[in-house]
Amino acid sequence: MAVSALLVLVLAIPAVATVPTGSTAPTSASQIPNLDAVKAEVIAYYTSGNYEREASSVTRAATAFVDEQLRHHPRKPAVVLDIDDTALSDYGYESSHDFGYDDASYNRDIDAEAFPAIAPTLAFVKHVQREGVAVFFITGRRVPQRAVTIGNLMRVGYPKPAGLYLRPVSDHRHSIIPFKSHARAEIQGLGYTVLLSIGDQWSDLRGGHAERDFKLPNPMYLIP
From the list 195, 89, 215, 203, the residue with the least C-alpha distance to 140 is 203
Q: How far is the CB of 158 from Mg ion (least distance, A)?
A: 15
Answer for which of 82, 128, 153, 210 binds Mg ion (CB under 5 A) is 82
Cβ nearer to Mg ion, comparing 69 with 91? 91
Q: Residue 94, interface with Mg ion (CB under 5 A)?
A: no
Q: How far is the CB of 86 from Mg ion (least distance, A)?
A: 5
Pseudo-torsion of CA 182, 185, 186, 191, nearest 10°? 180
In whole angstroms, give the CA distance from residue 189 to residue 178: 16
Stretch touching Mg ion by CB under 5 A, among 62-70, 79-87, 99-107, 209-217: 79-87
Q: Residue 90, interface with Mg ion (CB under 5 A)?
A: no
From the list 187, 189, 184, the residue with the least C-alpha distance to 208 is 184
- Whether 122 contacts 87, CB under 8 Å: yes
Q: How far is the CB of 197 from Mg ion (least distance, A)?
A: 12
Give the 3-state secondary structure of residue 166. Answer: strand
Q: Residue 200, interface with Mg ion (CB under 5 A)?
A: yes
Query: Is residue 81 within a helix (H) or strand (E), and if so which, with residue range?
Result: strand 77-81
Pseudo-torsion of CA 53, 68, 89, 134, nearest 10°? 160
Cβ nearer to Mg ion, comparing 94 with 200? 200
Count of residues of this chain found to bind Mg ion when the rule CB under 5 A is applied: 4
Task: Characterize 139-162 residue by residue with b for buried, 16 or more Cβ atoms within 10 angstroms of its Cβ, and e for exposed.
Answer: bbbbeebeebbbebbeebebeebb
Q: How far is the CB of 204 from Mg ion (least distance, A)?
A: 6
Answer for which of 84, 110, 184, 222 binds Mg ion (CB under 5 A) is 84
Q: How far is the CB of 82 from Mg ion (least distance, A)?
A: 4
Stretch touching Mg ion by CB under 5 A, among 14-22, 103-111, 162-170, 196-204: 196-204
From the list 156, 155, 157, 182, the residue with the least C-alpha distance to 168 is 182
Cβ nearer to Mg ion, comparing 69 with 138? 138
Q: How far is the CB of 168 from Mg ion (least distance, A)?
A: 18
Binding site for Mg ion (CB under 5 A): 82, 84-85, 200
